[in-house]
Amino acid sequence: MLNEEPYYITESKRLCRENGMDPYVMSRPETFLTEQELLDKRESYSEILSVVSFFSNKLLASLKGTPILVVISDVDGFLLDIDGDETIKATTDQFGIILGSQFTQKDTGTNVVSLTLQEKRPISLIGKDHYHKMLEDIACYGASFQYTDEDDLLGSVSIMMPIQYQNPLFLTMLSQMVDSIERELLLRKQNRKLNIMNQIMLKRTSNGIVITDEYGITTELNDYAQKISHNGRASVIGKNICTSELTGTYFQRVIENEAVFENELLQFTNQKGERVVCLFDAQPIYENGKMIGAFGQFRDISERHLLQEKYNYLAYHDDLTDIPNRRYIKKEIESHIQSIEMGTSGKLAILFLDLDRFKIINDNFGHSNGDELLKEVSKRLIGCLGERDILARMGGDEFIFLLQDFDSNHYVEEKAKGILKQFHEPFQVAGNELHMTASLGIAIYPDYPVSPEQFMVYADNAMYQAKSQGKNRYVFNTSSHLDSVSSTHVKHCR
């Protein structure tokens, strides 16, 4: 009972008899791949052959001195690789065991290649297990291999030897070798999938990605990173990222200290001269608890950032004259007063300007020409600005100068004279020559604290004093009393 022939061998021999095969006449393969077909097949199996050959060579090395032949087939029984003892090779050529030949039950009868593929498990054909008498002096062991994740049969690996070298351990060794082959093939398949996914992620993502090894050498730069920076892969791959002026410091801290960065705002000009604004993340890459590199990611927020800058600009600038507006100047006044109170800033003065008889211009020439006049006025006033001066439009026909950190009040008075001088020449608007004057109210921040609102009222009161005094002049506010008309120092502009 222990020596009972396996059912698949019995069935194979029955088929041989049924097909009229003579056990004393060796059957040879009937189908062969052409030279080109064999090249193509080996190319399609190149990764599989490299893995199987690696482990079969290890097997041959471990059995050095034993006359063994290793045969590798594809899933259809075509022989793709033969290696091992040259003496056995010469002998087996007469049996049709050559590259490109196909071993099937129909053509070659009971053979280890087709039975291994059929049974999908390790088998042995030893001596009289063969149907053909010429093979009874040979021991064969075979095992199929597959992608274990989807039961996808790939081929078989078989070993042949003279029967006197037979040993049940060969089947065990072959089974262990196939286990190793299948693990390696599965790992490579999974790595290919991961690589494809990584390529898709790297190519499809709208983020720029940079990957380095543990020494900071750049190993990957995706398409979007190239697009953002206008740097080609050739100029970056293989270079040390730590030398980068833009991100080198971040990557160095990641690599040396395993630091993590999120949403770091980076601004630079790319090679096309375009301003780029990015949020930058960087972190270590780990494998089995060991840091093996660094990952950096750029999220291009240029459009959003520039749009936000534009919104901020519009929020603090007058849309007609494009100079700072009331909100902006008020913020500056508040900030400077705080600095004065902290002792970190010097003198501060406000010059409040109101155009004289501007309503007449609007009534006689229309609001559109009135707007054009305001633009022309603002252009001339901009020409009066010193290094630390700010000009803003308060609204309507009112403007304000903020003078900061000047040495003496003489600077303020000379500034006022210069401003009023800008109105000596007429303004050209839509072919019309318009004559215009202005009244200035001046307040210098006192030696004691006042609120920004109080400070601006001082200048406003002085401006109205200038109006009541006959216009086209400047008036210095000299009082801190808000509930009465300020005492003033009046200068008429001639």
User: Which tokens is 389 given?
Assistant: 């001066």
The residue type found at 461 is: N
Distance (Å, whole) CA 70 – CA 141 = 10
* Residues 423-435: tens digit of each pLDDT: 999 999 988 999 9
* Residues 159-191: tens digit of each pLDDT: 999 999 999 999 999 999 999 998 998 888 887
Distance (Å, whole) CA 15 – CA 131 = 10
Distance (Å, whole) CA 176 – CA 303 = 59
The residue type found at 163 is: I
In 56-195, DSSP assigns E strands to 69-74, 79-84, 123-126, 138-147, 152-162
The segment with the largest mean pLDDT, out of 2-11, 102-111, 337-346, 360-369, is 102-111
Q: Write down the pLDDT at residue 337.
A: 92
Closest CA to 473 of 305, 356, 383, 381: 356
Q: For strand 138-147 and strand 123-126, is the pairing parallel, antiparallel, or unpaired?
A: antiparallel
Instruction: Decide: helix, strand or coil at residue 34.
Output: coil
Q: For strand 123-126 and strand 79-84, is the pairing parallel, antiparallel, or unpaired?
A: unpaired
What DSSP element (H or E) covers 173?
A: helix 168-204
Residue 32 is classified by DSSP as B
Closest CA to 129 of 118, 140, 119, 144: 140
480, 450 in Cβ contact below 8 A? yes
User: Which tokens is 357 given?
Assistant: 């008889």
**Number of neighbours of residue 63 by Cβ within 10 angstroms:** 17
* Residues 359-412: tens digit of each pLDDT: 998 889 999 999 999 999 999 999 999 988 999 999 999 999 999 989 889 999
Identify the structural domains of the chain with CATH numbers, from first to last: 7-195 (3.30.450.40), 206-305 (3.30.450.20), 316-492 (3.30.70.270)
User: What confidence category does residue 58 fall into, taking pLDDT thresholds of 50, 70 and 90?
Assistant: confident
> Is the predicted pLDDT of residue 3 greater than 80, yes or no?
no
User: What confidence category does residue 196 fall into, taking pLDDT thresholds of 50, 70 and 90?
Assistant: low
Residue 145 burial (CB < 10 Å; 0-12/13-18/19+)? buried
Q: Write down the pLDDT at residue 147.
A: 87
452, 341 in Cβ contact below 8 A? no
Lowest mean pLDDT among 303-307, 336-340, 402-406, 466-470: 303-307
Closest CA to 202 of 230, 229, 221, 227: 221
Instruction: Decide: helix, strand or coil at residue 257.
Output: helix
pTM given for the model = 0.48
> Is the predicted pLDDT of residue 1 greater than 60, yes or no?
no
Q: What percent of the chain has pLDDT over 90?
A: 59
User: Which tokens is 403 given?
Assistant: 């003078």
- What's phi and psi for 332, nearest 5 deg? -65, -40
